[in-house]
Amino acid sequence: MIKQETSSRPFFYPQPGAALHCGGVSLESMARRFDTPLYVYSADQIVERLRLFEQALAGREHLVCYSVKANSALAILKLLAENGAGFDIVSGGELERVLAAAPEAVGRVVFSGVGKTAAEIDLALKAGILAFNVESEAELKLLAARARKHTIRARFALRVNPDVFAETHPYISTGLREHKFGIDIRRALGIYKSAAKERWLEPHGVSVHIGSQIRSAEPFGAAIERVSKLVRQLRREGIELQTVNAGGGLGVDYHAGAFDAAAKVEEYAAAIEDALGDFEGRLLIEPGRFLVAQAGALVARVLYVKRNGKKTFVITDAAMNDLIRPALYQAWHEIVPVRPRAGKARVVDVVGPICETGDFFARDRKLAPVLPGDLVALLDAGAYGMTQSSNYNTRPRPAEVLIEGKKVRLIRRRETMADLLAPEVV
């Protein structure tokens, strides 16, 4: 049972026998109004998580640049911008989203990613973003050429690779030499010295990002210690950087139970602050998952309960095209009935209707009794849910709603078959 007073999530049962709520709104009422599958997000928790970072870093000039790839809903971007956030983008498309949702925040945008195209660089230069996180010498050369063409001085930070191990899933670890991300930190000094001679390049900062879903503060501190050493070396060479970008990656607890988000942020901020030493410039951070993951849930309806041999399958109308994390990363998501039934929990596989054995949300999971027609909620689905969704099996993607207190707002309508077929030519 999820209780409001002990859970780090905004989803709770207000009393025994009641339906699961988000804020002051029942998820049953949301399913009746908007159908299923349905993504539901808490605006209040997203803002609360942002404020945790603001409070923990209050003693230093800083900017929280939300990682747009975690959840790129325009309404969520607007909400964060209105509360002072900047943005970390990894494509021209994500920049277009920021420009659509919060054009006034474009000067708070940093552009990451290993494969920026000339067109994307041009778009960002003309928009006036804060800085480019450059990930290779070839990219820096292209950035200089595009800046020269448009006579716009390009602020950049080298994304250095500190060779720090972060204990996380190998697909989302990015801080080792064998990964495709960043530039070997041992080569950075020479690259900065060369770039400082370029008329249309401005060495603005240094950036690091060692991975995602990291639960300990120690790897962040170790990475920033190596970055701080580089900053001091550059200072001795007459290159004074204005920013250090610590990246993102602070993880959440996807399992049941209380999660002290405030304590985690304080621990993270303290580790970075200690490692920065005498650096007096601006700190940038790029949280994504930590801000939005636990603020979201995917609501699905049970279609069938089926037994095959010793296995029991709970088949829902949501599938891996709606939430691919369990299939892709073997990720854990808590699954709870929206309105609990009396009875003993049983071990089941919770799966979708897609024609893939990999279309599952949970295997051999204890689940309270559910029957066809019941609703279930897949928790902690606010990050890398809708942004990684697809139309596999020609399935329209879900609607999304944002809840603030008792106020409900549809922020993305459910796709129609006309939407799916519109780009195609027979």
Q: Which two tokens stand for residue 284?
A: 């940038």
- DSSP letter at 426 equals -
Under 8 Å between Cβ of 375 and 361: no
State the pairing for strand pair 311-316/335-337.
unpaired
Residue type, 66: Y
Long-range contacts of 15-21 (CB under 8 A, 24+ apart): 17/339, 17/340, 18/339, 19/338, 19/339, 20/336, 20/337, 20/338, 20/339, 20/377
Task: Copy the structure tokens of residue 420.
Answer: 């799916």
**Candidates 58, 138, 342, 355; catalytic one:** 355
Coil, strand, or helix at residue 317? coil
Structure-block tokens of residue 91: 């494509």
Q: How wide is the angle at C-alpha 54 spanned by C-alphas 51 and 60, nearest 5°?
A: 175
**Strand 86-89 and strand 109-111: pairing?**
parallel
Cα dihedral sign, 6-12-14-15:
negative
Among 340, 382, 416, which Cα is nearest to 40's?
A: 382
Structure tokens that stand for 409 in this block: 């707002």
Q: Is 355 a catalytic residue?
A: yes
Radius of gyration of the chain (CA): 23
Structure tokens, 80: 């964060």
Q: Which active-site residues does the annotation give?
A: 355
